Structure 1
Amino acid sequence: MFNRKRYIPTLLAISLAVASCKVPSIVQQAENRSVPEYFTDSRDTTNMAALPWRAFFTDPNLVSLIDTALKRNQELNIMLQEIEIAKNDILFRQGALRPSVGARLGLGVDKVGRYTSQGAGDASTEIAPGKEVPDPLTDITASVYAKWEVDIWKKLRTAKQAAITRYLSTVEGKNFVLTNLVAEVANSYYELLALDNQLEIVSQNIALQKNALEVVRIQKEAARATELAVQKFQAEVLKSQSLEFDIRQQIKETENRINLLLARYPQEIPRNRSNFLAMAPSAVQSGLPSHLLANRPDIRQAELELAAAKLDVKVARAEFYPSFGITAALGFQAFKPAYLVKFPESMLYSLAGDLAGPLINRNAIKAEFYSANARQVQAMYTYEKSILNAYLEVATQLSKIDNLRKSYELKAKQVDALTRSIDIANDLFKSARADYFEVLMTQRDALEAKLELVETKKEQLTSVITVYRDLGGGWK
């Protein structure tokens, strides 16, 4: 004989067994966090990235600019909203762990045909002696209801943990924006100082060339020079004057770039234009490469994204297992308002448990699981790439700083030699022992050397700022 009570649990057990079988395994690959022991031959373990940016930068004008940028920069404010979004996602995931409770107030009217099975049954039912069921029949309901998915496989808790990890990742993303913003403002500031210095050099050179032009004109009148010499000197003056306007335009562009970082309309950038070449770059202390794992916000962000991706895989894997839900309701229901308050006749309640899992056609769940697995592997490669990129950036900047120091020393000697040669060439030209071409070339070489010296000084200053950023400094 068919036993229904025994058949239903057996069918349920078979369903759960089928739903739980052949669950794909998680692909785990070893993470490569190893880095070389040192950046260079130096064994210095002190890391300049631990220094707060207010202590690293000593120019009060630059400190004021960075302060304004940290308060008003639009990209930073956009990133702060990303943090708020991630924080709200945590609340959303946390809500899924708790029962959902709501209230329901309903009013309806139902009219069925008399010559139907339901209509015939209603007509024969007496609510009271001599009374039939009202036609049409109203339905008034006032109840509270609840539903809750029991997190038996820790799917919801894992999803919440993934949301928390991504929130921490956005915080590190904000720190990465901070360190880049500080470095960009500082680099643009020193570029502006270098342009100011180059403009001053060009202005001084124009005055020198005009003096030489007057000398040539006088010599022409005395028949000691030709019109060709006059035109050559005149052309050189015009070339320098054109260069002056080019530099002025670069100054304006750099000022506006700083104003953009500070989220304000064009205005002059306050700065000290003197003694640019006398500025000494800060001492570089690179520390150990392993410090990058703790100091670099982009590495920490990639590490947290990898952790979140691993949690996503666990969530996707839990979709293969059955879910257990509980629903309940409690309230009052009647077809007349007067009957609604009659207790216990108008009382309604329900309690149900639901255990459901996928049996066949699980391709959508498999696809999401494999995609989550692939995103996890992708995040691992991104993490490893961020470590490699950080090490190479620091190593490159350390080498650049050393080579720029040697180059600046040689260029400074070159400028000294060419500056002395200008006076010598002018004296020789006045005594007819050198022609005008030698004077022109000497002035031109001296101008180019001075401009290159200023450019090298700027690169020295910005390279130290860049290595400070690459070591993970600027966000504390």
Structure 2
Amino acid sequence: MISHSTYKKLSKPLLLIVVAITMQSCFVAKDYTRPELEETDHLFRTDNLPADSLSMADISWKDLFSDSYLQQYINEGLQNNLDIRTAIQQILVTEAYLKQGKAGYLPTVSATAQMTRQELSGNSQFGSFFSSLDQYELSGSLSWEADIWGKIRSNKRASEATYLQSVAAHKAVKTQLVSSIATTYYQLLALDAQLEVTEQTVAARDSSVITIKALKDAGQVNQVAVDQNIAQYNNAKALLVDIKATIFKTENALNLLLGRSSQPIQRGSLENQNFDADIKVGVPATLLSNRPDVIASEYGLINAFELTNVARSNFYPSLTLTANSGFQSLELDQLLDANSLFATLVGGLTQPIFNQRRIKTQHEVAKAQQEQALLAFKNTLLTAGNEVSNALYDYEAETEKFEYRQNEVEALRNAESNSEELLKNGYANYLDLLTARQSALSAELNLIDNKLQQMLSVINLYEALGGGWK
């Protein structure tokens, strides 16, 4: 049976515990709600405002890119790229803090085992009785803070937001990596196509040098025509060297994205590339759920919001309960006796009154940082809409331009063929032929670049919409 005196001693701390539990609902911490974002209504600058919520960002990169080599490289890059692996480690860091935040509701428990020996002065109060004193202790202590104002809950939510922000950042790295690998791969295919055209041009100009020399021997052209043809032939060979050098560097760039040492890259051909997916941008609001950087930015805002809650709760009193219990004895063999048992239970409220303005400063800083996070979130969203608008316009422009480039190449090829035939029959000037040849080569290279830009605009649109991480 517990004596009346013991009951009175324990009743007050127990009352504090009951009060603490009762006051758990008295939170000053606010719940986060997404701010009103008028920017989402007109994020895309286009004449055809999308009404369909479907977006090409919902398509997996495995379905968007049909080239088997490219699929292999993207998969390899997602496994081995160093930026991806760094982002994963950052997730592990924030996950550890998240676990710590969740443990904030739990009490702090510690155990102590110690032996104290005290040599006493002979002239001291107890020195005349004891020359030395030994004490043994085996105890445990517990401390718990009641989350009256929601400070612990807000800290937990801030940790959750930081963790989810790192997950979203990892997705953003994946999106960028998929885009970079695809872009570099298609640049290689375009360079291969330009290399093939240039090699054909070198072979044709080698043959034309022989032809022009024969015409000179026949008296139809002079030495200037021969020299000009030789100059064009060497110009094409120099261009060939430049393209090969660019291919070598582009292969190295792709290897770096894949997280491996430099080596030759196996690949398909540009003419066999196509995108089967429909170009759908979805409504602007889908960027809030598809763009990883936008998602990460909002989690940054949530983190700042919850930390503002924490700073606000510091103005209010905190209720802390501490308990200490164990065994103390002057003799080691009596340490675990019932008479060696002791216990202490303390409950207290602490109200900050004056602390050199630290709490107010922390609150003001937290509010300013929350406003900064909100502005960063809005800026990220506006940037996302801007990127979608630009990518969409680029795709439409490159698609329209491709037909004109094809017509240009066809016309210049005919001009080159006709000029060469007229020159052989003495009806044209060799300068016309040289001009037609140079223009035809430039047009063919531009046509290849136009097709590349058309494909890259699809990749840019896919990335801008937030595709690639699913």
| TM-score of the two chains, using structure 1 as the length reference | 0.87
Query: How many angstroms does 1:297 deviate by?
Result: 1.5
Query: How many angstroms does 1:228 deviate by?
Result: 2.0
1:317-353 deviation per Cα after TM superposition (whole angstroms, max 9, x unaligned): 1112222222221111122213323321x22222222
**Would the aligned equivalents of 2:121 and 2:127 in 1 still touch at CA under 8 Å?**
no
**Residue type matched to 1:155 in 2?**
K
1:219–1:294 distance in 2 versus 1, CA, 3 Å? same
1:352–1:302 distance in 2 versus 1, CA, 3 Å? same
Which residue in the other structure is 1:4 paired with?
A: none
**Residue type matched to 1:91 in 2?**
K
* Count of paired positions: 439
Which residue in the other structure is 1:94 paired with?
A: 102
Which residue in the other structure is 1:320 paired with?
A: 315
1:280-332 deviation per Cα after TM superposition (whole angstroms, max 9, x unaligned): 67541122112222221111111121112111100011112222222221111
1:107-152 deviation per Cα after TM superposition (whole angstroms, max 9, x unaligned): 122123222xxx23452xxxxxxxx43x221222111111122222
Alignment of 1:266-285 (within 5 A): 266-273=262-269, 275=271, 279=274, 282-285=277-280
Which residue of the other structure, out of 71, 74, 96, is the alignment partner of 1:63?
71
Query: How many angstroms does 1:414 deviate by?
Result: 0.3
Query: How many angstroms does 1:33 deviate by?
Result: 4.3
Residue 185 (str. 1) matches residue 178 (str. 2): no
Which residue in the other structure is 1:295 paired with?
A: 290
- The CA distance in 1 between the partners of 2:276 and 2:101, in whole Å, is 50
- The CA distance in 2 between the partners of 1:280 and 1:160, in whole Å, is 45
Which residue of the other structure, out of 213, 217, 220, is the alignment partner of 2:213?
217
Which residue of the other structure, out of 401, 418, 427, is the alignment partner of 1:407?
401
Secondary structure in 2 aligned to 1:386?
helix
- The CA distance in 1 between the partners of 2:39 and 2:241, in whole Å, is 51
Residue 48 (str. 1) matches residue 86 (str. 2): no
Secondary structure in 1 aligned to 2:224?
helix
Secondary structure in 1 aligned to 2:327?
strand
**Would the aligned equivalents of 2:64 and 2:275 in 1 still touch at CA under 8 Å?**
no
- The CA distance in 1 between the partners of 2:306 and 2:214, in whole Å, is 85
Residue 76 (str. 1) matches residue 84 (str. 2): yes
Alignment of 1:149-298 (within 5 A): 149-273=145-269, 275=271, 279=274, 282-298=277-293
Which residue of the other structure, out of 387, 391, 398, is the alignment partner of 2:392?
398
- Identity across the alignment (%): 31
Query: How many angstroms does 1:99 deviate by?
Result: 0.9
**Would the aligned equivalents of 1:31 and 1:380 in 2 still touch at CA under 8 Å?**
no
Query: How many angstroms does 1:30 deviate by?
Result: 5.2
Which residue in the other structure is 2:136 paired with?
A: 140
1:448–1:175 distance in 2 versus 1, CA, 3 Å? same
**Residue type matched to 2:181 in 1?**
V
**Would the aligned equivalents of 2:194 and 2:448 in 1 still touch at CA under 8 Å?**
yes
Residue 111 (str. 1) matches residue 107 (str. 2): no
Which residue in the other structure is 1:363 paired with?
A: 357
Which residue of the other structure, out of 28, 33, 37, is the alignment partner of 1:32?
37
Which residue in the other structure is 1:338 paired with?
A: 333
Secondary structure in 2 aligned to 1:285?
coil
- The CA distance in 2 between the partners of 1:70 and 1:105, in whole Å, is 51
453-462 vs 159-168, greater mean Cα deviation: 159-168
Query: How many angstroms does 1:357 deviate by?
Result: 2.9
**Residue type matched to 1:289 in 2?**
P
Which residue of the other structure, out of 287, 302, 305, is the alignment partner of 1:307?
302
Residue 474 (str. 1) matches residue 465 (str. 2): no
1:330-381 deviation per Cα after TM superposition (whole angstroms, max 9, x unaligned): 111122213323321x222222223223211342222221111111101111
Which residue in the other structure is 1:429 paired with?
A: 423
1:120–1:387 distance in 2 versus 1, CA, 3 Å? closer
Query: How many angstroms does 1:220 deviate by?
Result: 2.5
- The CA distance in 2 between the partners of 1:151 and 1:268, in whole Å, is 61
1:351–1:36 distance in 2 versus 1, CA, 3 Å? closer
Which segments of 5 or more consecutive residues in structure 2 lack a partner in the other structure?
A: 1-27
1:378-423 deviation per Cα after TM superposition (whole angstroms, max 9, x unaligned): 1111111122111121111111111111111101000000111111
Which residue in the other structure is 2:370 paired with?
A: 376
Which residue in the other structure is 2:6 paired with?
A: none
1:264–1:77 distance in 2 versus 1, CA, 3 Å? same
Which residue in the other structure is 1:353 paired with?
A: 347
- The CA distance in 2 between the partners of 1:452 and 1:320, in whole Å, is 67
Secondary structure in 1 aligned to 2:325?
strand
Alignment of 1:446-465 (within 5 A): 446-465=440-459
- The CA distance in 2 between the partners of 1:150 and 1:274, in whole Å, is 66
Secondary structure in 1 aligned to 2:41?
coil
Query: How many angstroms does 1:105 deviate by?
Result: 0.8
- The CA distance in 1 between the partners of 2:294 and 2:270, in whole Å, is 39
1:43–1:316 distance in 2 versus 1, CA, 3 Å? closer
**Would the aligned equivalents of 1:425 and 1:438 in 2 still touch at CA under 8 Å?**
yes
Secondary structure in 1 aligned to 2:338?
coil
**Would the aligned equivalents of 1:166 and 1:304 in 2 still touch at CA under 8 Å?**
yes
- The CA distance in 2 between the partners of 1:312 and 1:445, in whole Å, is 64
**Would the aligned equivalents of 1:281 and 1:460 in 2 still touch at CA under 8 Å?**
no
**Would the aligned equivalents of 1:281 and 1:461 in 2 still touch at CA under 8 Å?**
no
- The CA distance in 2 between the partners of 1:122 and 1:262, in whole Å, is 77
1:366–1:42 distance in 2 versus 1, CA, 3 Å? closer
1:14-65 deviation per Cα after TM superposition (whole angstroms, max 9, x unaligned): xxxxxxxxx9x99x99542442366432545132222111111111111111
**Would the aligned equivalents of 1:33 and 1:387 in 2 still touch at CA under 8 Å?**
no
